[in-house]
């Protein structure tokens, strides 16, 4: 029987369509326009910087003005930006378009805040896991579609129009199923001029006790950094260590994404997350140690079959850790600041996405695949130690 919040799974699947369909072919499109690799990197950094700055602001805006209104406006702006992305060739316009996308593309972030708004507390963790599963499904299917469409004439333009259409449909979905916020704060903001609404956003951000969140943000940064540090160079590891062809590298990465999808589905369908309620930090600590051991195991293997087998516990740990981190974050905030905190969380992830690929490339250059795997395992172990320290701190604060 479908629950009243089942539409969130569709929202998560469609919300990832921009990344899943376009990001795998964006570089080749930009190269066809004569844009250098340096400028392509700057375009990516501009998108990440916009995401970093806008995350808390858009989240706070949704706390004040309501999730439905902010999500609808954001998805419609993204739809226009995707159409522009496929039809402009000027480097400056491309920079502007990527900045707009980075500023407004917060469907996943606000979607996680919506889970806490409308889903009963005992079902929130499983709902979050299933939303991740649908996002992974989108990231798995999207590149297969875009690869075929790009072979046609004006393939990239067709893809951007298709993605824009999907985002318009997403806006309609949100407007139809999401309930308008009726909090006192929202009703007050409806009669407030736009200039004062902007001031309210920053006042809201200032009023939050960020000291309660900084340790979790540090743990999240280490987790995202470790995951990206490894995943952005796993193709190099497969080629350099086992001399695999591009086809088998693609199969291996698809297998990893499939395990992410499958493990998220299992988490959403079982009662494990419900049973772990109240012990999220303990299970998060265990999960980080499983990931650390998996990375050390990948460092020691000497054939591709064992390497692929070692990816299974790593992917399962990745899925579980992502859900548990979301739950721990949501436990630190109430509905008055939930969007702000989740927006700040996306900014932390944006920092990791900006730093990790560069450092991963440097590690490969300096010490090869071995250094990359050792560094990934050390960062994950650091996340585990920090989680253990934070858990003890929480226990002491409850006793006092």
Residue 198 domain-assigned? no
Q: How confident is the model at residue 188 (pLDDT cuts 50, 70, 90)?
A: very low
Q: For residue 174, is it within any domain?
A: yes
DSSP 266-309: HHHHSSHHHHTTT-HHHHHHHHHHHHHHHHHHHHH--SHHHHHH
Please give the structure tokens belonging to residue 66: 């309501």
Same domain, yes or no: 59 and 115 = yes
- Range 85-110 average pLDDT: 88
* 164 lies in the same domain as 252: no
Per cent of the chain over pLDDT 90 is 22
Any idea what the CATH number is for the domain that residue 172 is in? 1.20.1250.20
Confidence of residue 194 (pLDDT cuts 50, 70, 90): low
Structurally, the chain folds into a number of domains equal to 2
Please indicate, yes or no, whether residues 279 and 165 belong to a single structural domain of this protein. Answer: no
Average pLDDT over residues 96-121: 85
The tens digit of pLDDT for each residue in 144-162 reads 777 778 777 888 888 899 9
Our separate counts of H helices and E strands in the chain read: 18, 0
Domain co-membership, 163 together with 213: no
Considering the domain architecture, whether residues 385 and 294 belong to the same structural domain is answered as yes
Residue 123 lies in a domain: yes
Q: Is residue 143 part of a domain?
A: yes
Lowest mean pLDDT among 22-36, 105-119, 238-252: 238-252
- pLDDT at site 307: 92
Please give the Cα distance from 157 to 145 (Å, whole number): 14
Q: Which of 206-210, 233-237, 238-242, 385-389 has the lowest mean pLDDT?
A: 206-210
- The Cβ-side half-sphere exposure at 61, using a 13 Å CA radius, reads 23
202 in a domain, yes or no? no
Cα gap 287→315, rounded to integer Å: 11
**Range with the lowest mean pLDDT among 127-136, 149-158, 240-249, 373-382?**
240-249
User: Is the domain of 234 the same as that of 354?
Assistant: yes
pLDDT in tens, 11-50: 888 888 777 788 767 777 888 888 876 787 678 778 878 8
125, part of any domain = yes
Of residues 230 and 192, the one with the higher pLDDT is 230
The answer to whether residues 373 and 360 touch, using CB atoms and an 8 Å cutoff, is no
Out of 81-85, 159-163, 321-325, 363-367, least confident range: 363-367
In-domain check, residue 49: yes
Same domain? 3 vs 139: yes
* Average pLDDT value for residue range 244-262: 78
CA angle at 207 for the pair 389 and 355, rounded to the nearest 5°? 55
Which residue range(s) make up the domain with 15?
1-180
Same domain, 236 and 313: yes
Q: What rounded mean pLDDT belongs to the chain?
A: 81
For residue 157, the number of C-alpha atoms closer than 13 Å in the C-beta half-sphere is 8
Question: From CA 272, how far away is CA 330, in angstroms rounded?
Answer: 18
CB-based burial, 8-34: b 16+ in 10 Å, e otherwise: bbebbbbbbbbbbbbbbbbeebbeeee
Q: Is the pLDDT of residue 187 over 50?
A: no
**Residues in the chain, total:** 400
Same domain, 132 and 270: no
Buried b / exposed e along 110-136 (16+ C-beta atoms within 10 A): bbbbbbbbbbeeeebbbbbbbbbbbbb
Q: Per-residue pLDDT tens for 285-340? A: 999 999 999 999 999 998 889 999 999 999 999 989 988 898 888 777 766 677 77
**pLDDT given for residue 242 in this prediction:** 83
* pLDDT above 50: residue 119: yes
237 with 381, same domain?
yes
- Residue 140 pLDDT > 60: yes
Non-local (6+) Cβ contacts of 99 within 8 A are 46, 47, 49, 50
The confidence score (pLDDT) of residue 77 equals 94
Distance separating alpha carbons of residues 27 and 285, to the nearest angstrom:
37
Residue 376 has pLDDT above 90, yes or no: yes
């Amino acid at each position: 029987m479908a629950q009243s919040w089942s539409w969130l799974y569709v929202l998560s699947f469609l919300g990832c369509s921009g990344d899943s369909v376009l990001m795998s072919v964006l570089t080749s499109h930009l190269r066809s326009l004569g844009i250098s690799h340096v400028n392509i990197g700057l375009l990516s950094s501009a998108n990440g910087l916009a995401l970093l700055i806008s995350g808390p602001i858009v989240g706070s805006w949704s706390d004040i003005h309501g999730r439905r209104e902010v999500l609808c406006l954001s998805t419609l702006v993204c739809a226009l930006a995707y159409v522009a992305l496929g039809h402009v060739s000027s480097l400056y316009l491309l920079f502007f378009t990527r900045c707009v996308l980075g500023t407004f593309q917060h469907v996943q972030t606000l979607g996680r805040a919506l889970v806490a708004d409308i889903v009963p507390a005992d079902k929130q963790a499983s709902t979050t896991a299933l939303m991740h599963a649908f996002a992974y499904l989108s990231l798995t299917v999207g590149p297969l579609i875009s690869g075929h469409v790009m072979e046609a004439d004006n393939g990239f333009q067709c893809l951007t129009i298709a993605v824009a259409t999907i985002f318009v449909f997403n806006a309609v979905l949100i407007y139809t199923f999401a309930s308008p916020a009726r909090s006192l704060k929202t009703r007050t903001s409806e009669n407030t001029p736009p200039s004062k609404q902007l001031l309210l956003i920053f006042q809201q951000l200032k009023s939050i006790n960020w000291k309660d969140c900084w340790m979790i943000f540090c743990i999240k940064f280490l987790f995202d950094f470790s995951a990206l540090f490894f995943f952005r160079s796993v193709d190099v590891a497969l080629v350099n260590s086992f001399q695999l062809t591009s086809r088998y590298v693609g199969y291996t990465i698809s297998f990893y994404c499939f395990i992410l999808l499958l493990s998220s589905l299992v988490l959403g369908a079982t009662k494990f997350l419900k049973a772990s309620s109240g012990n999220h930090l303990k299970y998060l600590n265990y999960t980080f140690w499983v990931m650390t051991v998996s990375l050390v195991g990948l460092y020691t293997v000497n054939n591709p079959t064992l390497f692929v087998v070692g990816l299974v516990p790593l992917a399962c740990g990745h899925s579980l850790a992502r859900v548990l981190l979301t739950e721990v974050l949501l436990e630190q905030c109430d509905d008055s600041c939930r969007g702000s905190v989740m927006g700040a969380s996306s900014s932390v992830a944006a920092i990791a996405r900006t730093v990790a690929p560069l450092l991963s490339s440097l590690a490969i250059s300096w010490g090869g695949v071995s250094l990359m795997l050792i560094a990934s395992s050390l960062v994950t172990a650091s996340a585990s130690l920090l989680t253990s320290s934070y858990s003890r701190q929480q226990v002491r604060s409850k006793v006092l």
